Amino acid sequence: MKNVTIAIRLVRTSNPKLVKITATLAMLVFPPLCIVLGFDARTTGVMLGGTIHDVAQVVGAGYAVSEPVGNTAVIVKLFRVFLLLPVVLGVGWYFTRKGIRHGEARVPVPGFAIVFLLLCVLNSAAPLAPSWMPVYAPAKSVLVEISTWGLLLAIGALGSEHRSRRSSASAGGTSPPCWAPLRLS
């Protein structure tokens, strides 16, 4: 019960530095803990993807153990993120109904989440239709490669934006933060 109380206090205080510190600690401590506890690859991936806060930290922790653990951890994390869709739509709908009277609110449509859902359905249904395999397998291979590189670039961009905001501000730069590390001094 004490752990639940601590977790609730962490959420209520919503200190971003504290959240990042605890997530970083989880990224470093959970993979060896899963190994010590004797978890298999799937269970380890589910634990990492289900408990670590940031997608980049889930990627780092999962793939540090093994590729199957990393794959499972990323899928679990992305599914957790996807589960926010009904919440976002519900809150948007609530405020839209409130704003209809004033004519100022709109529900945002998260296109990425809809595409994610469609690709999940396609990936689950394709093996059930063997006639699709000659087209599906090569297309899936290309899309997996693109997805892997996209995830790598996104994580790199997040890191460079974080560092560059400080360096851009201290240098008096006006270029977008993501370009600061690439700027020649």
pTM, two decimals, is: 0.58
Cβ atoms 147, 130 nearer than 8 A: no
Query: Is the pLDDT score of 176 beyond 60?
Result: no
In angstroms, how far is CA 85 from the centroid of its own chain? 13
Distance (Å, rounded) from C-alpha 40 to C-alpha 32? 12
Locate 83 and state its tokens.
């589960």
Distance (Å, rounded) from C-alpha 62 to C-alpha 56? 10
Burial class (CB in 10 A: 0-12, 13-18, 19+), 66: middle
Report pLDDT for 43.
96
- Per-residue pLDDT tens for 130-174? 888 888 889 888 988 888 788 778 777 766 655 544 544 455 555
- Per-residue pLDDT tens for 38-52? 999 999 999 999 999
